[in-house]
Structure 1
């Protein structure tokens, strides 16, 4: 059972959705299909968990974004080869 982070209802369910993400350098946005998401049947909000957001942002920071298509699947993005092993600028880790 999931609790909605917006309305605190227990009507939240796992889903996958298309999201649009701005690249770290601000040059463009890309479409990411089949992104793991949470959808609340009560309030209608659809969102990504903090974990998913961090994974996407880290991956976009660690790969050569100039080689990205305008649209791709989440799985394809996460499998893109990294230039660095981890985000050395994320001091929260």
Structure 2
């Protein structure tokens, strides 16, 4: 887990669950994802997700049938969706 803010390097951070809006890989729409593990910095007020988590979400959205996802889903629900491929073969 992060111990410092990725933006300002302050140690005044809080790990929490937050709502985010994510663009679908095909660019046709965005979806609200609730309860996403996030970091809130109390120094610069930035709220963000770790680079690793961003990659996990991006890969998952790329590898599942997104037609079954409505306008909103939870992080847990998103991550348990069955994948069409085992991994992102386009990630070099």
Q: TM-score with structure 2 length normalisation? A: 0.95
Structure 1 runs (4+) greater than 6 angstroms displaced: none
User: Are the aligned partners of 1:3 and 1:10 in contact in 2 as well (CA < 8 Å)?
Assistant: yes
Q: Which segments of 5 or more consecutive residues in structure 1 lack a partner in the other structure?
A: none
Q: TM-score with structure 1 length normalisation? A: 0.94
Aligned length: 91
Q: How far, CA to CA, are the matches of 1:15 and 1:44 in structure 2?
A: 13
User: Are the aligned partners of 1:2 and 1:13 in contact in 2 as well (CA < 8 Å)?
Assistant: no
In the TM superposition, residue 19 of structure 1 has moved relative to its aligned partner by 0.2
Instruction: Tell me which residue corresponds to 1:80.
Output: 81
Instruction: Tell me which residue corresponds to 1:34.
Output: 35
Q: Which segments of 5 or more consecutive residues in structure 2 lack a partner in the other structure?
A: none
